[in-house]
Structure 1
């Protein structure tokens, strides 16, 4: 039964990564058809709301969205929207494979945040992995060259940084709030500020572009739910390696839709970043096992 749950978690994670990669391709495609950043962000959240609401209604029920931590959801929304600006911006500024590769630095930033902000003990193993990971970033970005815009690389790294910050916030909110409640309030609370920005950029589109904008929200909503659901069935250390499948989708979409192929630097640097991230995840698992063993061996007073 336990193995069935793990395989369910892995399947959900792979499906989530497919959805998120598809959403990124749709965002870039919408931009080529005249859609702006504000438009894509607004429609991402707008059309995710019915998806998330329907999922909650079929599961724990709409009463579960009640919360006593409205302020925490507001803070998560502010940070999440800032991160969305950078995440969507990276997709628009960079080829899909390169934008995806910069997202692989999330475990690196999570380690830095844990050590510097949360004061978590971090040994030389993980600090070494962080240094190797940033070496991979330098290989991909090639500072001083022109194959990747410096501004785009910075935006891509800031996107990964904010994903790590959101992960820390979700860990804190998750002590009292369900995943569905958190996703619901993020989607709903982000609509007013995004609606204001969208009001200044409302424009007409053809039917195909409107369909793409709606699909961004629907696909993104399903992806968000699948990401959340994967953690119900399998540990983080098991499902996170599935995230690197996004490089396959990013490369495939980039080639099929935009005729863009990753540079040789990306093929070299991406495995370095991925290896660094996997090592960090593995070390976290080792430390968790060590803490569990130490706790079980402690004398009972």
Structure 2
């Protein structure tokens, strides 16, 4: 997709916001189903495999029906496989956090990705990071400490590690996607991630797969469908609106996760989560607004790169 085409496309910000809200509802529902499936005895490798494998035929059929199967052509299979390695590890962490932690806590920890992205930018890439983003990083990690601190309700260490690990890995993936998005269609990034991720996770199936009843198989099917729908909704939202317009809607996932936790598990977040989550959300909003401002100030193409990166990155869940 050329930058000229992106610039010329008519924007419909209200439609973009509605699509992004629907995407967050789908993603939150997917992780709710993941938690239920985990409690029903479906192992993590099975959840990872079926989450990705279910989306392959859906993507393939949509592309075939629209005559866009050629979008999957690539000369960068190695880059896709490397991105899928990181992405599959990140998906394992996300699913692990959803199964081990209360959904609001797992969702909040997922919002730490921008914090780790800033750290990678400064410490690994050696790029300049201003005082606004450093302040946001400190604010965000203060929120994490409030949620997981000694005064809070006990948080399983493995679940906490999975949630923060997801934040680190998704931040790393965002840099890989930034490179891929310069030459690859976003749907190609999604398809090859699912393809290689299915292969990688299939290796573990002989050790972890077990017989399931109709209930468990319906859960796995629903997880795959919700994930695929979320991917298409995320992509569609960025076809009609800018990153800065729609990304704020991502935090509505916290509303959905709290609602699901209350209705299905009779669990409401403790006071520590109510205090810490707004700090993490505020930090993410500060970082997003600053990066969008800087991209716009540097050049229009930088903003387009930002949009392409977000479009592909958000499809890796």
TM-score range, shorter chain: over 0.9
Residue 131 of structure 1 corresponds to which residue in structure 2?
138
Query: Offset at 1:7?
Result: 2.1
Contact 1:110–1:165 (CA<8 Å) still a contact in 2? Answer: yes
Residue 99 of structure 1 corresponds to which residue in structure 2?
106
Query: Offset at 1:31?
Result: 1.1
- Please tell me whether residue 40 in structure 1 is matched to residue 47 in structure 2: yes
Partner Cα distance (2:123, 2:241) in 1: 28
Residue 275 of structure 2 corresponds to which residue in structure 1?
268
Mapping 1:223-242, distance limit 5 Å: 223-242=230-249
1:69 to 62, 73, 76: 76
Q: Deviations over 1:52-86 (max 9, x none)?
A: 11232244511221110000001011010111111
Query: Offset at 1:146?
Result: 5.2
Please identify the structure whose Cα radius of gyration is greater.
1
- Please tell me whether residue 108 in structure 1 is matched to residue 106 in structure 2: no
Contact 1:81–1:190 (CA<8 Å) still a contact in 2? Answer: yes
Query: Offset at 1:15?
Result: 1.3
Question: Larger deviation: 214-223 or 279-288?
Answer: 279-288
Query: Offset at 1:171?
Result: 1.0
Q: Deviations over 1:111-141 (max 9, x none)?
A: 1122222333211111011101100110111
Contact 1:52–1:225 (CA<8 Å) still a contact in 2? Answer: no
**Post-superposition, which runs of at least 4 consecutive aligned residues in structure 1 deviate over 6 A?**
none
Contact 2:20–2:237 (CA<8 Å) still a contact in 1? Answer: yes
TM-score by length of 2: 0.88
Mapping 1:249-268, distance limit 5 Å: 249-268=256-275
Contact 1:9–1:232 (CA<8 Å) still a contact in 2? Answer: yes
Question: Larger deviation: 58-67 or 101-110?
Answer: 58-67
Query: Offset at 1:263?
Result: 0.9
Alignment: residue pair count: 294
Query: Gaps (5+ residues) in structure 2?
Result: 1-7, 303-317
Contact 2:110–2:167 (CA<8 Å) still a contact in 1? Answer: yes
Mapping 1:21-36, distance limit 5 Å: 21-36=28-43
Partner Cα distance (2:172, 2:121) in 1: 10
Contact 2:50–2:220 (CA<8 Å) still a contact in 1? Answer: yes
TM-score by length of 1: 0.92
Q: Secondary structure at the match of 1:41?
A: helix
2:25 to 18, 41, 48: 18
1:182 to 189, 197, 205: 189
